Amino acid sequence: MRRAVTLTVVIGALTAPTAGAAPIRGQTLMPGVVYSKQVEFTPHGAVVLNVVSTPRPTGLYSIKALLSNGAVPGRERLTDMESGLSAAATVVGVNGDFFDTRWGTPSSVLVRGGVLGTGTKGGRSAIGFDDGAGIHVDRLSFDGSWKGTGQFRPLGLNDPPGRSNVTLYTSAWGAATPAENGTVEAIINPFPAARPNVTLTAPVTQIVQGGNQPIPPNGAVLVARAGQVDILNSEVHAGSQVAIRLILTPRWNDVREAVGGGPVLVRNGRPIFRANESFTTSQLFARTARSAVGQTSDGRVLFVTADSGRPGYSSGLTSFELALAMMRFGAVNACGLGTGASASLAFDGKLLSRPSSRAGEAGVADALMVAYEGVYAPAPAPTVAVGKTEPLAYKVVRRSSVTATLTGPAGTTTLDAGIKQPGTYSFDWTATAAGKWTFSVDAVDDLGRSSSTDRTFTVGASSRRG
């Protein structure tokens, strides 16, 4: 028999999907973005779910795929990735794809701004968002090829050594190609943005060898190994042209941001029990920490992370249990993301989920973020005693006309007004009267976009005794 309990927010049954699920209710992180921590006791132990619901990412909101450390190889904590964006936006994010444990490279496709960062071997779903911020969950395949004076031949895109006999390394990989022996490199400069499903032609400026070759900021390097070395030497020369094709199936021509993941969890409102993707039984049916992304019928984006790894705290979920939870939260389409220690959810550089490892937050290869460019105000303390000083603050990320006010029992006071450069503005305010107070900030940025935020708190009686 199942018992549901409430820990400051609404709790629901994991396996009880509902039609027309109610909006997520909980703590407002930033305008329109709500966070809910939900707990349920099940026959397998307690389950803790961290749920974020955001507006459809258009206008002041946008969806972004991010690489750890700004490069394909390597890992970085989700909170550090968010902190690096703080000056440009206020962000909430979830971990992205599975990854190669040696190189830290995403296991599947990565698209940023419509440009491919990595390909995929296929067999697993990926998550993409198009120009209208609609979600796509598809099992992609990637077919890369190159051509000098001969025929088109296969290549990989920003793969670790050993995956392909020929690899194209763009600036998304980093500053230089991997250090290798027995390779030949064609330096291509300039090279067009690596957009899928078109033929990209570019000039070869130099033929070198030995690996660890600098990648031009606006160029690329074509690396040949093993039996392809002689072919590249005979068909590609300095001053000649190469042609590159990076084909995705489905074509995803309108997808702007994407990360790999899988399996598909919800499709057209129905949970998927067996997606027949390239995952092992243990990967699907183990109860562990898991993350997912989904979209509701009205376009809201859901980021969900199930905690695990701490006995007595949260037992985690199987893949299908996560599918049922995503449907219960209102997802019409949803897909799984990385699992285990990498499963994480964070806002403004602070974890919302609980790390499954006692070592703390683990690094990830990539992430999905919803970025907000309007005015943001951190939440003040829920209750402030009369006579105590409470810091109030707001942040703008573009040059903006701002008005900040404080409304309480005695009326409204203007704390700040005028044209503000990007940055954070703070005030030390001393509570003067008991009652309900609201800190409000209205802004219009240099693109003419209006935004506002309200933070309500209570001033209680002074704790001093006479």
Q: How much is the pLDDT for 358?
A: 84
Q: How much is the pLDDT for 1?
A: 31
Please give the helix or strand (H or E) that residue 327 lies within, else none.
helix 319-328
224 and 103, same domain (yes or no): no
Domain-terminating residue out of 336, 352, 372 = 372
DSSP string covering 29-86: EETTEEEEEEEEEETTEEEEEEEEEE--S-TTEEEEEEEGGGSSSS-EEHHHHHHTTT
Q: How much is the pLDDT for 43?
A: 87
Within-domain flag for 281? yes
Residue 222 and residue 227: Cα distance in Å, rounded?
15
Q: What is the chain's length? A: 466
Sign of the alpha-carbon torsion through 288, 289, 293, 295: positive
132 and 267, same domain (yes or no): yes
Give every CB contact of residue 18 below 8 A, 6+ residues apart in sequence: 12, 328
149 and 88, same domain (yes or no): no
Give CA angle at 61 (56, 63), nearest 5°: 75
Q: Are the C-beta atoms of residues 391 and 380 closer than 8 Å to each other?
A: yes
- For residue 418, the cross-strand partners are 402
Helix or strand or coil: residue 321?
helix
CB atoms within 10 A of CB 421: 9
Helix or strand or coil: residue 255?
strand
Within-domain flag for 290? yes
Within-domain flag for 428? yes
Residue 262 and residue 319: Cα distance in Å, rounded?
10
Residue 107 and residue 353: Cα distance in Å, rounded?
23
Sign of the alpha-carbon torsion through 220, 221, 227, 233: positive
Q: Which residue type sits at 457?
A: F
360 and 397, same domain (yes or no): no
Q: How much is the pLDDT for 462?
A: 62
Among residues 26, 114, 37, the alpha carbon closest in space to that of 306 is found at 37
Give CA angle at 208 (237, 148), nearest 5°: 30
Provide the residue range defining the domain that includes 214.
141-249
Among residues 47, 49, 48, 53, the alpha carbon closest in space to that of 30 is found at 53
Helices (H) and strands (E) in the chain, counts: 4, 35
Residue 441 and residue 455: Cα distance in Å, rounded?
9
Quote the number of domains for the chain: 3
367 and 405, same domain (yes or no): no
Within-domain flag for 116? no
13 and 130, same domain (yes or no): yes
Tell me phi and psi for residue 229, to 5 degrees: -60, -50
pTM more than 0.85: yes
Q: Per-residue pLDDT for the chain (466 aa), expressed as one digit of tens each?
A: 333 333 333 333 444 444 456 678 999 999 999 999 999 888 888 999 999 999 999 999 999 999 999 999 999 999 999 999 999 999 999 999 999 999 999 999 999 999 999 999 899 999 999 999 999 999 999 999 999 999 999 999 999 998 999 999 999 999 999 999 999 999 999 999 999 999 999 999 999 999 999 999 999 999 999 999 999 999 999 999 999 999 999 999 999 999 999 999 999 999 999 999 999 999 999 999 999 999 999 999 999 999 998 778 999 999 999 999 999 999 999 999 999 999 999 999 999 999 988 889 999 999 999 999 999 999 999 999 999 999 999 999 999 999 999 999 989 999 999 999 999 999 999 998 999 999 999 999 999 999 999 999 999 976 544 3
CA dihedral 330, 332, 336, 341 (to 10 degrees): -20
Residue 422 and residue 396: Cα distance in Å, rounded?
5
| CA 348 and chain centroid, separation | 12
Tell me phi and psi for residue 142, to 5 degrees: -125, 135
Within-domain flag for 255? no
96 and 155, same domain (yes or no): no
266 and 212, same domain (yes or no): no
CB atoms within 10 A of CB 49: 25
Q: Which residue type sits at 168?
A: L
Q: Which residue in the block uniquely carries the two structure tokens 């000083």?
A: 389
Give me 355's structure tokens. 């790390």
Residue 194 and residue 157: Cα distance in Å, rounded?
10
Q: Are the C-beta atoms of residues 352 and 51 closer than 8 Å to each other?
A: no
Task: Label residue 286 exposed, middle or buried (CB < 10 Å: 0-12, 13-18, 19+).
Answer: middle
Within-domain flag for 254? no
344 and 397, same domain (yes or no): no
270 and 185, same domain (yes or no): no
Domain-terminating residue out of 179, 214, 249 = 249
Within-domain flag for 114? no
70 and 10, same domain (yes or no): yes
CATH code: domain of residue 417: 2.60.40.10
Q: How much is the pLDDT for 310?
A: 77
130 and 13, same domain (yes or no): yes
Q: Are the C-beta atoms of residues 465 and 385 closer than 8 Å to each other?
A: no
Among residues 152, 116, 378, the alpha carbon closest in space to that of 258 is found at 116
Q: How much is the pLDDT for 167?
A: 98
Within-domain flag for 336? yes
* DSSP-assigned letter for residue 349: T
Residue 320 and residue 216: Cα distance in Å, rounded?
45
Q: Are the C-beta atoms of residues 35 and 51 closer than 8 Å to each other?
A: yes
Residue 106 and residue 100: Cα distance in Å, rounded?
6
Domain-terminating residue out of 372, 402, 429 = 372
